[in-house]
Amino acid sequence: MRRLIAGNWKMNGILSSIEEAKAISAGVGGSLEHDVLICPPATLLHPMVNALTNSNIAFGGQDCHANFSGAHTGDISPEMLKDLGATYVIVGHSERRADHGETNAIVREKALSALKAGLTPIICIGESLEQRDAGQTMSVLKEQILGSVPEALNGNQFVIAYEPVWAIGTGKTASINDIAAAHAHIGGVLASFVENADACRLLYGGSVKPSNAAEILGTEGVHGALVGGASLKASDFLAIVSA
Ligand code: PGA
C-alpha cells in the first residue's frame, strides 16, 4: 500500500513559513515514492498552493464544518477547502475533540461532508491516558470508529489516523507492539462494516520524529504517519518521508 506521510501544522505558520513548505516540496522532488501531504492553517492554504503549483505534495485542511455554507461564524466548509486546492481534510483530531467538544457524531458528519465536497477525510481516533491505564484502549477505539466513520464507505475513500492522546506533542510514543496491536484491531473493526477495508490507510500519529519514524513506519499495519511538531521543519519532515 502506498504510504501517506501527512504534516499537521496545527496553529503554526505565517506567510513566511511557506518557505518551509517550498523546502519540503524541493526535498521530495519529482518522483514520489509515497504520498506527502501538508495541512497548514487555513489561512496559508491558498498562498501555499499558489506558491507550489508544480509540486507533488498534496494539501489539506485541519478541520471543516459539517455544512457547506451558512451562519457559522469563524468556520470553514469542506467546499471552501476544496476550492483552494485541498484534497484532504483532518477531522476529529483529539485537539478538536477536546477544545471544541467534538463528539463522534459530529466527526462523522464532518467526514460525510468532506466526502461530498470531494475531499478525503483523515478521521482521527485515539485513547486518553486514563482510558489506556484503565485497559480500555481497544474498546475506546472501537467506539470511536463505529461512531466517527460513516457507513457504506469503501476503504479507499478515507484514511484513519490512530493517535494516542497521551503521545501527541509529548515526545512519548506507543510501543511498537502496542501500535501493531491497535492497528490490527482498527483494521478488524473497519472490516466489520466497511467495504474493501484493506484499502484504508491507517496512519500512526503522536511524537513521530526522524529518530523513530523508520521503526514506526515499518510496523505491520502502519501505512503512514500524521506528524505534528516534526512537520514544521523541512529537514525533520523530509527525514520522516524518506525513513
Ligand atoms: P505531534 O502531533 O507529532 O506533535 O505529536 C501529532 C498530531 O497531533 O497530529
| 204 within 8 A of 222, measured Cβ to Cβ | yes
What letter would DSSP give residue 197?
Answer: G
Lookup: cell for 128? 486518553
| 79 flagged as catalytic | no
From first to last of the 243 residues of the chain, give the pLDDT tens digit.
Answer: 999 999 999 999 999 999 999 999 999 987 688 999 999 999 999 999 999 998 999 999 999 999 999 999 999 999 999 999 999 999 999 999 999 999 999 999 999 999 999 999 999 999 999 999 999 999 999 999 999 999 999 999 999 999 999 999 999 989 999 999 999 999 999 999 999 999 999 999 999 999 999 999 999 999 999 999 999 999 999 999 999
pTM over 0.95: yes
From 173, 208, 237, the mutation candidate for ligand 1 (largest count of ligand atoms within 8 A of CB) is 208
> Is there an atom of ligand 1 within 6 Å of 227 CB?
yes
* Alpha carbon 114 to its chain's center: 13
Residue with CA at minimum distance from ligand 1 atom 6: 228
From 227, 232, 237, the mutation candidate for ligand 1 (largest count of ligand atoms within 8 A of CB) is 227
| 93 flagged as catalytic | yes
